[in-house]
Amino acid sequence: MIIKGNDIIITTGSGSNTQGGGTVLGMMKNCDIDIKCDTIETCPSANGRYKTFIPGRMEWSLSSNHLIETMYSFLIKAGTGVVLQIRNRNNTRDALYGNAIITECAISANRGNLAVGSFKFRGSGILRGFN
């Protein structure tokens, strides 16, 4: 099944709510989820001059832009810890969740236009799936 951008819903929770829920971040305009893995160099003598690597530690982050319907006072505070849930509107089992820290938050609007919120989160620990 193809997932469209307007099918992705991002919600925030707090405390021990490990599966997000909580507040929907408004109508999403765009979203980027980055998952990275460090590599560790190994040096077996059989490879001669060529380097070999094994997977190292991983990290994840999320950035998104939303149309703002209400002011989210807790999201304005950079450095706040939240539980993020990224899910498919059409399939609640198709979801990811994890603890994150708000690293950036900006809300902007021109007179007469809708307000847009830009949020950046840095994952703290594993990004889990519900499956």
Over residues 1-43, the pLDDT tens digits come to 566 666 677 877 765 444 545 777 777 788 899 999 999 998 7
Please, is 66 exposed, middle or buried when counting C-beta atoms within 10 Å of its C-beta (0-12, 13-18, 19+)?
buried
First-last CA distance in the chain? 16
pTM of the model: 0.78
CA angle 27, 32, 33 (to 5 degrees): 120
Identity of residue 114 = L
More confident residue, 110 or 61: 61
Domains and CATH numbers, the chain: 5-129 (2.30.110.20)
Over residues 68-113, the pLDDT tens digits come to 776 665 556 788 888 888 877 777 677 888 999 999 988 888 898 8
- Exposed e or buried b per residue across 96-117, where buried means at least 16 C-beta atoms within 10 angstroms of its C-beta: bbbbbebeebeeeeeeeeeebb
Q: What is the DSSP letter of 46?
A: G
pLDDT at 114 exceeding the cut of 70: yes
